[in-house]
């Protein structure tokens, strides 16, 4: 439904209120080009009837509006900025829908007042107005005395050409006083103003966010669950969002940047807990790439940059393990070097570095491929067991406990066997460690049963199947019978083979679990990923750039496969598990051979995972395995990686945590240019969904949540032909316990309301005009008149006004109030809070055109 505000009127701001005391919301619109204030009165069925126009003066360019009772007569008044005439004005309401111009306040020649917000900043029960002055880079505070007489003006300089695009309010220092954060796109900063509770603000605190970022939108929330407000900024120029975590004293940590994708040009952000983990997630509208981006909040552990250790020569490190080889209580590292036919020992110094390198030959042509450490001969000293691919044997180095080892003993694995992977356990319950080895050349599994003194019996063979090409072996108790079982990675047949042990050295026939055709799994690891006390399985799938998760049933069998991508060209070769963020939930770390990276997938404790940051192992390093340990004893897991491409091992020391990692993208359609996102439960399944305003395609897109921060394909609802939806908000407007949608249609100068049925479908859009050429670009929903009915406030950038539509409680809106901001104020963002603690919601507006902030204080 459309209501014209007149030809070429250019409405830029909207507000809703009951101006004629009939308990129906009315609309007031600031028409910037028509230089008037336009009031549209609501009818009980959600439509609007008569309208009334108030001239604001030639060339005044009314821009932003707000509604409040400024003179304490229990009648709503309208405040407005005149952008071109450099004034703030107040129209007193008589309670019958009529208004009179009662107050005019000059804010300085050339100041161009733009956006404003209203609050009681000095706790005197009188309203103050905060105005952003685009023309001179100031913020002005108009302190009000009784009868709406603003006696004094306090100015705050915000810098030259700051182009304040957006603002938000919050209590950043926990003193129960409202503060302000402003996004200055022109000078690439965010600016904090701490409220003093007396209508003044402390000295500005500036946080630079780098040249060219063009901060376009700012919002606040407690991102890291520490009860301190944090700041999130959307940076259109750098295709990113930045997070400043608050300390709770008005200061913030250095920003952390998160990419939203090349060419994405993000324009807005909202917060919600999408996966019910009690952490806020970020949903971003990317107008440049026609998608929405989701940053899933979590406690993501971070790592220092890799520190590389290299011995002399082209070594070809193949696998790496951790152990204390010299009994000094510091973890050491053992590596097999397949090119130079030896093993290397790096002795740790306990502070995250290594100071001694020892070298032991595995003989010429041995080509060692795998190793494991354990105490084979029960002397309390770690020994090293090596699979020698080139010489068809297993080599054993008995440790002396001082970092040195005896010469290698060998045990044959069969002619042409090509041993590829090795593990150690007591398979026959005789109290002695045995060895299992995977023979890739003969497609079998070999067992060397130990005598307990470092020597072993002749190998026994189990076939895996012709052309299975087994590449890795792991052990565990998969059926909870306290007997050792075996898992084999069959690369060529794309499956994992499980052999359940009888405890006497014998095993069941292999049962296989497919990782899907063409995956080519290379490694497998085990852990309890869903906290059901059963062992689960994860594989690294080299050919299709993924990992596969199999949840264990506790009886030796596993459920259906679930796959997570590791990135194009990643070619993962190795996986391991550990709790990297100390949340008592197992995470998965993946070695990406193809992209020279490692990445942690953080476990949520329910069998699902979030993709963390990527860490480079250096160009051409070709990492293939890793080991996990706390090398510097700081309580955080560290990682050591073998890099055959660069002939190094790389050490990543665990460092800190942060709330977000890599972005997840959801396509919104070619040419959609999404401008805004909002959150609601549109199908009443108690799982949060996403609504996105697709400016380019003139529709609202709905992504139904699956409950794990993943979403179904987008549903589409029209907002009108060539309407250009710019902003979307979600609330229950008609009290039926279903989420409804409000959209600001920039091109057609109206708002559209879609009432939800609770099944992810909606009634046809009902529209309310915001005035000709108003170009509404932001809305917010709140109860502005304390009647327990939701109202809508609209920022009209084209006419530099704020329009309030007062709700009738049934999804329709009646009375309206319009607040003129001033010529070319161009409000682009609107926020709501109770600034003066009087129990009424106030409005704060960021005025892009005048580089200032306006405050509309609601009067009782």
Sketch the domain layout of the chain as residue ranges.
12-297+663-856, 303-658
Give the end-to-end CA distance of the chain in Å, rounded to a whole number: 32
Closest of 100, 64, 75 to residue 19, by C-alpha: 75
Task: Give CA–CA dist 202/534, Å, rounded.
Answer: 57
Task: Give CA–CA dist 576/570, Å, rounded.
Answer: 16
pLDDT at residue number 615:
87
Tell me how far the alpha carbon of residue 649 is from its chain's centroid.
32
In contact, 651 and 306? CB cutoff 8 Å:
yes
Task: Give CA–CA dist 728/745, Å, rounded.
Answer: 9
Task: Give CA–CA dist 402/529, Å, rounded.
Answer: 37
10-residue mean pLDDT profile of the chain (860 residues): values are: 78 85 89 90 79 89 86 90 88 92 83 71 70 67 48 48 67 84 81 73 72 81 89 88 88 84 82 78 80 76 70 77 93 91 90 84 94 95 97 97 95 96 96 96 96 94 89 95 96 95 94 94 95 95 94 94 91 93 91 93 88 86 88 86 85 72 68 81 89 89 78 88 91 95 95 95 93 91 93 93 93 90 83 77 79 69
Task: Give CA–CA dist 541/521, Å, rounded.
Answer: 4
pLDDT at residue number 660:
53
Q: Residue 379: how many CB atoms within 10 A of its CB?
A: 14
What residues form DSSP beta bridges with 806? none
In contact, 423 and 474? CB cutoff 8 Å:
yes
What residues form DSSP beta bridges with 67? 78
Does CATH place domain 303-658 in 2.130.10.10? yes
What residues form DSSP beta bridges with 189? 184, 208
Residue that is written with structure tokens 């975590």 in the block: 245
In contact, 754 and 1? CB cutoff 8 Å:
no
Closest of 107, 16, 113, 12 to residue 832, by C-alpha: 16
In contact, 631 and 616? CB cutoff 8 Å:
no
Q: Which residues contact 463 (CB under 8 A, 6 or more apart)?
A: 443, 444, 445
Task: Give CA–CA dist 753/834, Å, rounded.
Answer: 26
Task: Give CA–CA dist 39/134, Å, rounded.
Answer: 27
Q: Residue 351: how many CB atoms within 10 A of its CB?
A: 12
pLDDT at residue number 48:
78
Q: Do domains 12-297+663-856 and 303-658 have the same CATH topology?
A: yes
Rg (CA), the chain: 33
Question: Is residue 110 classed exposed, middle or buried when 0-12, 13-18 and 19+ CB atoms within 10 A define those classes?
Answer: exposed
We find that the CATH architecture of domain 12-297+663-856 is 7 Propeller (2.130)
Residue that is written with structure tokens 């407005």 in the block: 80
Query: What does residue 776 show for φ and ψ, rounded to 5 degrees?
Result: -60, 135
537's tokens: 């399985």
Q: Which residues contact 756 (CB under 8 A, 6 or more apart)?
A: 680, 682, 738, 739, 740, 741, 762, 763
Query: What does residue 179 show for φ and ψ, rounded to 5 degrees?
Result: -115, 175
In contact, 805 and 818? CB cutoff 8 Å:
no
> By three-state DSSP, how is residue 471 classified?
strand
Q: Which residues contact 686 (CB under 8 A, 6 or more apart)?
A: none
């Amino acid at each position: 439904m459309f209501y014209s505000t007149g030809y070429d009127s250019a409405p830029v701001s909207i507000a809703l209120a009951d101006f004629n005391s009939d308990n129906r919301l009315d609309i007031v619109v600031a028409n910037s080009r028509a230089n008037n204030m336009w009031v549209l009165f609501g009818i009980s069925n959600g439509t609007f009837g008569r309208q009334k126009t108030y001239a604001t003066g030639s060339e005044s360019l009314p821009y932003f509006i707000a509604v409040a009772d400024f003179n304490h007569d229990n009648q709503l008044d309208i405040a407005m900025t005149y952008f071109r005439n450099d004034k703030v004005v107040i129209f007193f309401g008589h309670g019958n829908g009529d208004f009179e111009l009662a107050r005019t306040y000059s804010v300085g020649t050339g100041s161009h007042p733009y956006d404003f917000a209203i609050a009681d900043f000095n706790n005197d029960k009188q309203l103050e107005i905060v105005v952003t002055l685009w023309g001179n880079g100031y913020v002005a505070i108009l302190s009000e005395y009784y009868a709406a007489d603003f006696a004094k003006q306090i100015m705050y300089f915000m810098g030259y050409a700051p182009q304040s695009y957006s603002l938000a309010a919050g209590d950043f220092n926990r003193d129960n006083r409202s503060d302000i954060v402003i996004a200055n796109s022109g000078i690439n900063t965010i600016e904090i103003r701490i409220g003093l509770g007396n209508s003044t603000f402390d000295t500005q605190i500036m946080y630079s966010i780098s040249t060219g970022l063009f901060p376009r939108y700012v919002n606040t929330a407690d991102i890291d669950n520490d009860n301190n407000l944090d700041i999130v900024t959307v940076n259109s120029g750098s295709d990113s969002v930045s997070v400043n975590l608050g300390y709770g004293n008005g200061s913030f940590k250095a920003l952390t940047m998160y990419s939203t994708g090349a060419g994405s040009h993000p324009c807005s952000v909202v917060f919600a807990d999408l996966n019910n983990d009690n952490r806020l997630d970020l949903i971003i509208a990317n107008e440049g790439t026609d998608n929405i981006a989701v940053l899933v909040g979590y406690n993501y552990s971070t790592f220092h940059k890799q520190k590389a250790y290299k011995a002399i020569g082209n070594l070809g490190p193949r696998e790496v393990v951790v152990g204390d080889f010299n009994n000094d209580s510091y973890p050491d590292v053992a590596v097999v070097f397949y090119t130079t036919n030896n093993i290397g020992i790096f002795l740790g110094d306990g502070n995250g570095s290594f100071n001694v390198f020892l070298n032991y030959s595995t003989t010429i042509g041995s080509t060692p491929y795998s190793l494991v450490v354990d105490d084979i001969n029960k002397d309390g000293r770690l020994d090293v067991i090596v699979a020698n691919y080139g010489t068809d044997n297993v080599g054993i180095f008995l440790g002396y406990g001082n970092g040195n080892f005896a010469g290698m003993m060998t045990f044959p694995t069969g002619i042409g066997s090509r041993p590829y992977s090795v593990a150690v356990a007591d398979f026959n319950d005789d109290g002695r460690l045995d060895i299992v080895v995977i023979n890739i050349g003969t497609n079998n599994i070999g067992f060397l049963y130990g005598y307990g003194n470092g020597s072993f019996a002749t190998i026994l063979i189990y076939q895996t199947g012709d052309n299975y090409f087994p590449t890795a072996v792991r052990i565990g108790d998969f059926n909870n019978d306290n007997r050792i079982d075996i898992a084999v990675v069959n690369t060529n047949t794309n499956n994992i083979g499980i052999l359940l042990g009888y405890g006497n050295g014998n095993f069941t026939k292999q049962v296989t679990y497919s990782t899907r055709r063409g995956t080519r799994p290379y490694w497998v690891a085990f852990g309890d990923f869903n906290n059901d006390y059963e062992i689960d399985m994860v594989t690294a799938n080299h050919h299709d750039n993924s990992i596969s998760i199999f949840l264990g049933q506790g009886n030796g069998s596993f459920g259906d496969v679930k796959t997570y991508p590791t990135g194009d060209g990643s070619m993962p070769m190795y996986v391991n598990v550990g709790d990297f963020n100390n949340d008592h939930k197992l995470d998965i770390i993946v070695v990406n051979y193809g992209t020279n990276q490692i990445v942690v997938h953080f476990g949520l404790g329910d069998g699902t995972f979030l993709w963390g940051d990527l860490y480079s192992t250096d160009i051409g390093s070709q990492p293939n395995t890793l080991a996990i340990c706390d090398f510097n004893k700081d309580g955080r897991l560290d990682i050591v990686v073998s890099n055959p491409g660069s002939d190094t091992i790389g050490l990543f020391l665990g460092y800190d945590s942060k709330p977000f990692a890599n972005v997840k993208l959801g396509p919104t359609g070619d040419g959609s240019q999404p401008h805004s996102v909002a959150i609601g439960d549109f199908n009443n399944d108690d799982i949060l969904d996403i609504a996105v305003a697709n400016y380019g395609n003139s529709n609202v897109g709905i992504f139904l949540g699956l409950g794990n921060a993943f979403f179904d394909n987008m549903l589409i609802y029209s907002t009108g032909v060539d309407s250009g939806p710019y902003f979307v908000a979600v609330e229950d407007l008609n009290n039926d316990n279903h989420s409804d949608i409000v959209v600001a249609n920039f091109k057609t100068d109206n708002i559209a309301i879609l009432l939800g049925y609770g099944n992810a479908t909606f009634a046809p859009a009902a529209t309310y005009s915001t005035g000709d050429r108003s170009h509404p670009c932001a809305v917010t929903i709140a109860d502005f008149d304390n009647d327990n009915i939701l109202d809508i406030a609209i920022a009209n950038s084209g006419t530099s006004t704020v329009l309030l539509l007062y709700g009738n409680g049934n999804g329709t809106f009646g009375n309206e109030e319009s607040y003129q901001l001033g010529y070319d104020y161009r409000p682009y963002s609107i926020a709501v809070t109770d600034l003066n603690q009087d129990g009424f919601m106030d409005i704060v507006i960021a005025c892009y055109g005048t580089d200032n902030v306006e405050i509309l204080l609601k009067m009782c």
